[in-house]
Structure 1
Amino acid sequence: MLSQGFVSAASIAASVLFILSLGGLSNQEKAKRAVWYGIVGMAIAVGFTAFASGIGGYGWMLPMVLIGAVIGVSVAKKVKMTEMPQLVAALHSFVGLAAVFVGLNADLERRRVMAVQLIGDTGERFSAFAALVATKTPAELTFLQVEVVLGVFIGAVTFTGSVIAFGKLAGKIDGKPRQLPGGHLLNAGAAILALLLAILYVNGAGIWTVLLLALLALFIGYHLIMGIGGADMPVVVSMLNSYSGWAAAAIGFTLSNDLLIVTGALVGSSGAILSYIMCKAMNRNFIHVILGGFGGSQGPAAEIEGEQVAIDAGGVASALNDAESVIIVPGYGMAVAQAQNSVSELVRKLRDADKEVRFGIHPVAGRLPGHMNVLLAEAKVPYDIVLEMDEINADFASTDVVIVIGSNDIVNPAAEEDPNSPIAGMPVLKVWEAKQVFVSKRGQGTGYSGIENPLFFKDNTRMFYGDAKSSVDSLLPLLD
């Protein structure tokens, strides 16, 4: 067994590696190294925690670690980039459920210690956690109860919220916002009742209070995320990431595990900051989004005039051959078609012809922050031509050709032109200001949020129907 000194030193080392990992992920060139920092940090955290003094049950622990590792490797090898958002949501649910189980077990251990102390049985063998509980003062035991309540509540909300987010992202649940009759009042009522149960629990009521509190929290997580529309799902995933971090931190306080506290705080704060940044980029109020106030229409939508006009590969290639400047706007459709390598080849051919080619990336393009950046980096697209919305939006008016590949809501002019649109006020890429716009799209359906896009009906827009990869591939032999 390892001494507490070794475990504390390992915790500090792992915490530093986690911080370096988060910091490195802000830069595409450093991201691979940052991921390795996280991997090594987690290996240190798991290893030194498992073999710390007072830890036992290896007959159960080691097989479970092995089974989990095999499942993790298998899933990582099979999952596609398009499925990463729902995978992240699923992993968040595991953290939430773990927090609930740890909280309930901690209360059972607390009650067992109190019962043993009451009857004066000095021969009772305690687990490492129970032995720690036995040394706590009455005030410290009260704090332990508060930690249990927080861990169970946040964990339960995270669990069901993440399950619903997974369903919406995977297309197994309708992406439209839906709430039970009573809407936000149901959530508020459940939260107030959970608070009353928490007060009863801290004041000596039975474990039934924690169980009921967990059930109420499970309902809140379900109803909260069901009430959030598909256009907000990238923010939801980030927000649930924050919840999972706070749940982990609560577990850390319960178990007196410094590493869990630090790691949970890092995940919780970074997730909250990212959610805030994304809401700011979408011109949305953070609290409004969380409460499910965005995603439904606010009145009759504006009528769309005109028709969608199709074009073939020859027409698009001709326009590209004549153009001097091109901006490509990728979206979830590019990810679905796995078209990033074809797009990279298209960029190479256009740049070889001395054309200016750049990418415009919306902060919430795809279904996970940074989704498009990762795909383009994977296809070896030069970092310096991949620009964020604020860097490129003013250049569309002077651009000859814009190619939209599988994007919908992030290039929707209704955000600026229709005050009744569900995305009214959301900053979007102003692709319609370019001389010509070609939209690569599988069909005439709406985007993930279910909102019709007037861009597709504008006079300078042509619809290049078909699978994104096949469509881009058909352009390559036609370029000069």
Structure 2
Amino acid sequence: MEYTNIVDFFYLVSIVVFIIGLKGLSHPESARKGNLVAALGMGMAILISLVAPQQNGDNNYIWIIGGMLVGGTIGIVSAKKIAMTKMPEMVSLFNGLGGACAMLIGIAEFNNLPAGTEMMSGAVFINIFAMFVGAVSLTGSLVAYGKLNGSLRDNFSLPAPQIINLASLLGIIVLSGLIMTQPELNMPLVYALLGLSLFYGIAFVTPIGGGDMPVVISLLNSVTGIGATGAGLIYSNNIMIIGGILVGASGIILTVMMCEAMNRSLVNVLVGNLGASGGGSGSGREEIVKEVNVSDLAIQLKYADRVCIVPGYGLAVAQAQHICHEIETVLEAEGVEVKYAIHPVAGRMPGHMNVLLAESDVSYDKLLELEPANDSFPSTDVVLVIGANDVVNPSAKDDSSSPIYGMPILDVETAKNVVVFKRGMSTGYAGVQNPLFFGDRTKMLFGDAKASLGKLKEEIANA
């Protein structure tokens, strides 16, 4: 068996390991193991690439090992120090770095084209493709990072975003065509295409409201995978090609699922027309807030039959998931059935709440998805909404002027009693007031979620 065939065989093995890892990510119980298996596949792919024969025979191991040491150190330090609440920002930032790699590969290979290369060729097209996709992923991910950590507000946007986006795409197509129809390589045109691609990444993400960031993250993740595929085509590297296809396909599937969960169109995402935040017309209800104290709530919970907890990003910020699980344990000791209702886009990225609760040893069979949760609410005695806002906002159903109108929500207002844990009456991530707070069955418990839950746990134990 030839040496190259041996390399290709082990590439195939690592690809199979990738697929097994992805399969494990399809369920919360196997997600951790799936992630480790996928990491093993990536480690195998890197090692195989290091021993694969190089096309030009140059020895680049010093650069490769140096880059791996720097990147690995950054990755390890970041993973250890990053708080779970900041995980979406880290995902966006690292995703952007992946796009930057594809972009730089495209630029480098333009400079490496031999003199006299036919411009109307597949090699040139792949270079353009990798550079464009990588650039969009880089700047788009950086804008998403800024929106997630609050450094870029939703009112930071470009005028007439749809027109700008479509004009930018048209310009990218025209420049690409000009590059490929030149008699020889024209680097000024390449750099113009690079600049316009970087700008399009900004223009694409900027108009999208904060409440729609989970869709953007999954879409940009897919874009980075497609960029990796382009880079793999440049070097005829099968593991990069298939690995990029797997990432791109899974990202697109997740994006479509997120769009369905938010009742959005994928076409709207592509032209930058996801509902940017803003205020709706409000609710016709009389805006009177009813408060509840910890002692009364403890008694109500202790003598309830069914309790449902709806976690949101506020729970993550307060790091209240552990004390929340402790309350669940105390209530179950009293014979109370406790479940968790998880909205598909709760938090700042898909699966954010599931990871937080898993971190606190909450059993997966207690997590209810949207439809089963909505079916259970009418027979639920008390729903505790902890740090969630937009995903329980009735405006999505009955206020056509609301930017979240049409988004499927958790119908907590159909429960017998609703208690909302919040610091104050501020709006949610999408910037929309929530009429649930003024509902007939709703009471508010103001304060830090972790502190309030700690007091609640003591009161339940003493009630």
- Interval of TM-score (by shorter of Structure 1 and Structure 2): over 0.9
**Residue equivalent to 1:194:** 172
Q: Give the match's secondary structure for 2:310.
A: strand
Task: Report how far residue 299 of structure 1 moved.
Answer: 6.7
- State the Cα distance separating 1:181 from its structure 2 match: 2.5
Instruction: Please state whether the residue corresponding to 2:339 is helix, strand or coil.
Output: strand
Identity %: 40
Alignment correspondent of 2:191: 211
Distance of aligned partners of 1:59 and 1:297 in 2 relative to their CA distance in 1, 3 Å threshold: closer
Structure 2 partner of 1:225: 205
More divergent stretch after superposition (307-316 vs 291-300): 291-300
Show structure 2 runs of 5+ residues with no match.
Answer: none
Q: Corresponding residue for 2:393?
A: 412
CA-to-aligned-CA distance 1:264-298 (integer Å, 9 cap, x gap): 11111110110101111111111113323222459
In the TM superposition, what is the alpha-carbon distance from 1:92 to its structure 2 partner?
Answer: 1.1
Q: Is the 8 A contact 1:228 1:291 kept in 2?
A: no
The one-character-per-residue Cα deviations of 1:365-402 (angstroms, maximum 9, x if unpaired) are 00111111111111111111111011110221121100
Cα contact 2:278–2:430 (8 A) shared by 1: no
2:397 and 2:170 map into 1 onto residues whose CA distance is 39
Kept after mapping to 1: 8 A contact 2:390/2:428: yes
**8 Å contact 1:227–1:291 — kept in the other structure?**
no
Q: For residues 28 and 422 of structure 2, what CA distance do their matches in structure 1 show?
A: 28
Contact 1:232 1:289 in 2 (8 A): no
Cα offset for 1:300? 4.0
**Of the candidates 433, 444, 459, which is equivalent to residue 463 of structure 1?**
444
Q: Tell me the TM-score normalised to structure 1 length.
A: 0.91
- Give the 5 Å matches for 1:72-151: 72-110=75-113, 113-114=114-115, 142-151=121-130
Match of 1:119?
none
- Residue of structure 1 in register with 2:334 after alignment: 353
Partner secondary structure for residue 114 of structure 1: coil
Read off the aligned partner of 1:46 and give its amino acid letter.
I
In the TM superposition, what is the alpha-carbon distance from 1:114 to its structure 2 partner? 2.4
Q: Which residue of 1 aligns with 2:17?
A: 17
Q: Using the alignment, how far apart are the partners of 1:292 and 1:445 within structure 2? A: 27
**1:248 match:** 228
TM-aligned CA deviation for residue 303 of structure 1: 5.0
Equivalent residue for 1:290, pick from 270, 281, 284: 270
Q: What does 1:58-457 align with in structure 2 at a 5 Å threshold? A: 58-110=61-113, 113-114=114-115, 142-176=121-155, 178-204=156-182, 205-293=185-273, 294-296=275-277, 300-303=281-284, 305-457=286-438
Deviations 1:224-271 (A, max 9, x none): 111000110010000100110101111111111111110111111110
Contact 1:414–1:421 (8 Å) recurs in 2: yes
Matched position secondary structure for 2:308:
strand
The 8 Å contact of residues 21 and 38 in structure 1, kept in 2 or not, is answered as: yes
Question: C-alpha separation between the residues in 2 aligned to 1:48 and 1:245?
Answer: 20
Cα RMSD between the aligned structures?
A: 1.7
Q: Letter of the aligned partner of 2:181 in structure 1?
A: N
Counterparts of 2:266 and 2:25 in 1: how far apart (Å)? 23
Q: Under a length normalisation based on structure 2, what TM-score does the superposition of the two structures give?
A: 0.95
Q: Give ranges in structure 1 of 5+ residues lacking alignment.
A: 116-132
2:167 counterpart SS class: helix
Superposition misfits of 4+ residues, deviation over 3 angstroms: 296-304
Determine the structure 2 residue equivalent to 1:29.
29
Residue aligning to 1:45: 45
1:304: how far off?
A: 5.2
**Contact 1:302–1:420 (8 Å) recurs in 2:** no
Matched to 2:35, the amino acid is V
What's the offset of the Cα at 1:301?
4.3
Of 43-52 and 245-254, more deviation after overlay is shown by 43-52
Query: Is the CA contact (8 Å cut-off) linking 2:282 and 2:433 kept in structure 1?
Result: no
- Counterpart code for 2:349: L
Aligned match of 2:6: 6
Q: Is the 8 A contact 1:224 1:292 kept in 2?
A: yes
CA distance in 2 between counterparts of 1:179 and 1:339 reads 34
Q: What is the CA–CA distance in structure 2 between the aligned matches of 1:378 and 1:46, rounded to whole Å? A: 30
Cα pair 2:282 2:435 within 8 Å, conserved:
no
Equivalent pair of 2:232/2:239 in contact (CA under 8 Å): yes
Cα distance change of structure 1 residues 346 and 300 upon mapping to structure 2, 3 Å threshold: closer
| Shift of residue 416, structure 1, vs aligned partner | 0.9
